[in-house]
Amino acid sequence: MLAFLARRIIIAIPTVILISIFVFSLQHLLPGDPILVMAGEERDPDVIAALREKYRFNDPIPMQYLAWAGNALQGDLGISLRTQQPVLELIGEKLPVTIQLAVMALIIAILIGIPAGVLSAYKKGTWIDWVANIIALSGLSVPNFWLGIMLILLVSVKLGWLPASGYMPLTEDPLQSIRVMIMPAFVLGTAIAATLMRHTRSAMLSVLKSDYVRTARAKGLKERVVLIKHALRNALVPVVTVITLLFGELLAGAVLTEQIFTIPGFGKLVVDAVFNRDYAVVQGIVLCTGIAFIFMNILADAAYRILNPRMSQ
Amino acid sequence: MTESQPLLDVSGLSIRVAGANRPLVDDVSFTLNSGETLCIVGESGCGKSLTALALMGLLDGTPLRIEGGTAMFQETDLLSASQSTLRSLRGDRIAMIFQEPMTSLNPALRIGDQIAEAVREHRGVSHEAGRARALEMLERVRIPAAESRLDEYPHQLSGGMRQRVMIAMALANDPALLIADEPTTALDVTIQAQILDLMRNLGRETGAAQIMITHDLGVVAEMADKVAVMYAGRIVEAGSTEQIFDDPQHPYTLGLMSSMPSLSGKSQRLVTIPGTVPSPQDMPIGCRFAARCPFADAACDAPPPLVDLNDGHRVACWHAPIENAGIAPGWKETA
Ligand SMILES: Nc1ncnc2c1ncn2[C@@H]1O[C@H](COP(=O)(O)OP(=O)(O)O)[C@@H](O)[C@H]1O
Ligand code: SF4
Ligand SMILES: [Mg+2]
């Protein structure tokens, strides 16, 4: 497994380089001269010249890239034009918020989607299956923002159980942090839960017909053991792949959900950076997201191998 | 014939798809004593597997319903027992191995765990004891380097080795009855012989009674003490191996015999019975073999009862004993 992880990380390096080239070219592809934006209203030629020198805009483009990548490797992703904060610091501030939201949403989705999928496959054709499918279908068709607003109205405004917005760092007050985040995570998790439920159900249906499940029953194992140890374990193999594919949806959904619940996360950072042409921040965000995707894929492959011993040889 | 209670006494077993007009398995009866091997033989689709699965209580979750009959196994009626009773018997007193060794083991679990799991479930032993028993069983089914196999996965083993693992798993709790549903059909000829050998020896060693399901009379000749010949869901002839091989009485059994190269004499040519098995929808009310039977006449429009000709040799044919029918069967030879 360690050798596998090492191999996967080495294979990922060219991908990271490609992403970084793309991110670097953003600066040149996007309309507008970033130096002019940086120089401010006066456009003092001396300042512009100094900035061009500082950011090596006079060098050939490959040299510029190398300089930029060298800085990035050392954690210097530039300075936000808007807040004058280092980009890495900004991202380091906002990313944990979004990660917490995404992870909580994924946990909620897994806790709802997988048991519901197992149950509806096991009880195929009964009312339990019907109810699970109808709920899943509504989970898929109800837009996130609508569900979010309805929940705020019901749970926060009417019942006053949970705050409608805000954020508390996990490190400061874990309980309160989870309390604040649970409703947005639920909103973000429902669509994912529905997708997971559908995939778990169909994977379980085919696994339950398999010969080895019949063998497990022929051994006299309890139904619970047959379902979880013998059937679900195999059904999870395709479901894990689906979870990886859902990661993009999860991030995109997080951006939207953060807007609804006014959570100061990555999503807000993205929106602010794009609207303010804060190039360095946009670059940093794209780079971090790309690397996060690669990381998630490696994790999913590792899980896939653990579940599927045929892959491990 | 023993006077004592048989180990398994199946009587009148019928299985039907919910809503179908004819049962798929119709009034099947047989008995089996401790240590005996019964071969159930018949063409594909005649209901052999359904019979076995019904005895195991493994028809739940399918559209198939047990419609009648009893199957007394050591004081328990397998056909009416609760799932929890059946579960405590399955894999313990009654074990089963299946036709497809390639798909019958769980691809995600280690061989040793899959065997030990059955032992732990029924004996409540520790992890170590389960593993020790698994190793012992792998050695008994003559898997080379058994110790190192314990932690391997099914895909690392050949089909023959996987079937050995299935046998080890089935016998791990010393069952009184082992049901083997075409255990060698999916294997190469040389491996088939090895597996049959192994099963015969283990049967002798453990004293487990066996129900061996096959469509191959060669397997029957190798293994059986008793034979039941099935056709289209019914037993058409049953008796001791000598009775069936030396004095076959049902026209279908005669047909099967002449389709067996080693028994039909000189040539390697296979003789096949013309015609096909009627489909469940247009199953005749009378003898189900009538459409293919050279002896068929008006009498055969009524279902022939399974009657005892002599000393446990049972035949379901209006014209048995066939010697009295006075017509030579006209089986055609095919290349
Ligand atoms: N789950 C099922 N639903 C409906 N029909 C079935 C099912 N399983 C088997 N059958 C039918 O029952 C008959 C007997 O099947 P089976 O016992 O598997 O035959 P075999 O003697 O080859 O083992 C076949 O005609 C088959 O099509
Ligand atoms: S009862 Fe009639 S049709 Fe059936 S096997 Fe006997 S002779 Fe043939
Ligand atoms: Mg079969």
> What ipTM does this complex have?
0.90
Mutate to test the pocket of ligand 2, among B229, B235, B309, B319 (most ligand atoms within 8 A of CB): B319
Work out the angle between the directed axes of helices A87-122 and A266-275 (0-180°, nearest 10): 130
| SS3 assignment, position B26 | strand
Q: What is the pLDDT of residue B279?
A: 84
Among B172, B187, B208, give the residue marking a domain's end.
Answer: B172
**Pocket, ligand 2, Cβ cutoff 6 A:** B 250-251, 287, 289-290, 293, 295-296, 300, 304, 317-319
Find the largest Cα–Cα distance for chain A.
84
Q: Ligand 3 centre from B49 Cα, in Å?
A: 4
Residues of chain B with C-beta less than 8 angstroms from the C-beta of A238: none
* Alpha carbon B293 to its chain's center: 25
Which of these, B38, B186, B17, lies nearest to B98 by C-alpha position? B186
Taking the C-alpha atoms of residue B277 and residue B282, their distance in angstroms, rounded to an integer, is 10
Record: contact A220-B169, CB cut-off 8 A: no
Taking the C-alpha atoms of residue A148 and residue A184, their distance in angstroms, rounded to an integer, is 7
Measured in Å, how far apart are chain B's first and last C-alpha atoms?
42
Taking the C-alpha atoms of residue A229 and residue A215, their distance in angstroms, rounded to an integer, is 13
Q: What is the pLDDT of residue A255?
A: 84
CA dihedral angle for residue B237, residue B240, residue B241, residue B243, rounded to 10 degrees: -70
- Complete DSSP assignment for B43-90: -TTSSHHHHHHHHHT--TTSSEEEEEEEEEETTEETTTS-HHHHHHHB
Among B120, B148, B172, give the residue marking a domain's end.
Answer: B172
In a domain, B168, yes or no: yes
Ligand nearest to the CA of B234: 1
Least confident segment among A31-40, A83-92, A278-287, B69-78: A31-40
Mutate to test the pocket of ligand 1, among B21, B22, B24, B235 (most ligand atoms within 8 A of CB): B24
In a domain, B199, yes or no: no
Domains and CATH numbers, chain A: 2-87 (no CATH), 93-312 (1.10.3720.10)
Residues A35-94 have pLDDT tens digits of: 777 677 777 888 888 877 777 777 788 888 888 888 888 888 888 877 888 988 888 888
Of A219, A230, A310, the CB nearest to B91: A219
Measured in Å, how far apart are chain A's first and last C-alpha atoms?
10
Of A222, A229, A310, the CB nearest to B107: A310
User: What own/partner pairs with CB < 8 Å and gap ≥ 24 does B20-24 have?
Assistant: B20/B280, B20/B281, B21/B281, B22/B233, B22/B280, B22/B281, B22/B283, B23/B67, B23/B233, B24/B50, B24/B64, B24/B233, B24/B280
Residues of chain A with C-beta less than 8 angstroms from the C-beta of B96: 218
Record: contact A219-B155, CB cut-off 8 A: no
B interface with A, Cβ–Cβ < 8 A, is 56, 58, 61, 87-92, 95-96, 98, 100, 103-109, 117-118, 121-122, 153, 155-156, 166, 169
pLDDT-derived band at B334 (thresholds 50, 70, 90) equals very low
Q: Ligand 2 centre from B306 Cα, in Å?
A: 12
Establish whether residue B279 lines the binding site of ligand 1, counting it when its CB lies within 6 angstroms of any ligand atom.
no
Residues A206-248 have pLDDT tens digits of: 999 999 999 999 999 999 999 999 999 999 988 988 888 888 8
Contact between A201 and B69 (Cβ < 8 Å): no
Chain B: residue nearest A223 by CA?
B87
Structural domain count of chain B: 2
Atom 1 of ligand 1, nearest CA residue: B62
Q: Does residue B1 surpass a pLDDT of 70?
A: no
Can you say whether the dihedral through the CA atoms of A62, A64, A65, A69 is positive or negative? positive
Contact between B31 and B240 (Cβ < 8 Å): no
Among B147, B172, B197, give the residue marking a domain's end.
Answer: B172
Record: contact A212-B92, CB cut-off 8 A: no
Q: Name the more confident of A125 and B179.
A: B179
Q: Which atom of ligand 2 is nearest to the CA of B294?
A: 8
Q: What is the pTM of this model?
A: 0.85
* Tokens encoding A86: 């280092």
Taking the C-alpha atoms of residue B100 and residue B105, their distance in angstroms, rounded to an integer, is 9
pLDDT-derived band at B3 (thresholds 50, 70, 90) equals low
Residues A98-112 have pLDDT tens digits of: 889 999 999 999 999
In a domain, B323, yes or no: yes
Q: Go through B193-209 and write b for each residue having 16 or more CB atoms within 10 A of its CB, e for each that does not.
A: ebbbebbeebbeebebb
Residues of chain A with C-beta less than 8 angstroms from the C-beta of B87: 220-222
Residues of chain A with C-beta less than 8 angstroms from the C-beta of B100: 211
pLDDT-derived band at A31 (thresholds 50, 70, 90) equals low
Q: Which atom of ligand 2 is nearest to the CA of B304?
A: 1
Residues of chain A with C-beta less than 8 angstroms from the C-beta of B89: 220
Q: Is A68 exposed, middle or buried (0-12, 13-18, 19+ CB in 10 A)?
A: buried
In a domain, B99, yes or no: no
A233 in reach of chain B (CB within 8 A): yes
In a domain, B33, yes or no: no
Taking the C-alpha atoms of residue A212 and residue B76, their distance in angstroms, rounded to an integer, is 27
Record: contact A220-B98, CB cut-off 8 A: no
Residues of chain A with C-beta less than 8 angstroms from the C-beta of B112: none
In a domain, B155, yes or no: yes
In a domain, B302, yes or no: yes
Record: contact B91-A220, CB cut-off 8 A: yes
Q: Which atom of ligand 2 is nearest to the CA of B251?
A: 5
Taking the C-alpha atoms of residue A118 and residue A312, their distance in angstroms, rounded to an integer, is 26
In a domain, B236, yes or no: no
Contact between B138 and B146 (Cβ < 8 Å): yes
Domain span holding position B288: 247-334
Strand B177-181 versus strand B209-214 pairing type: parallel
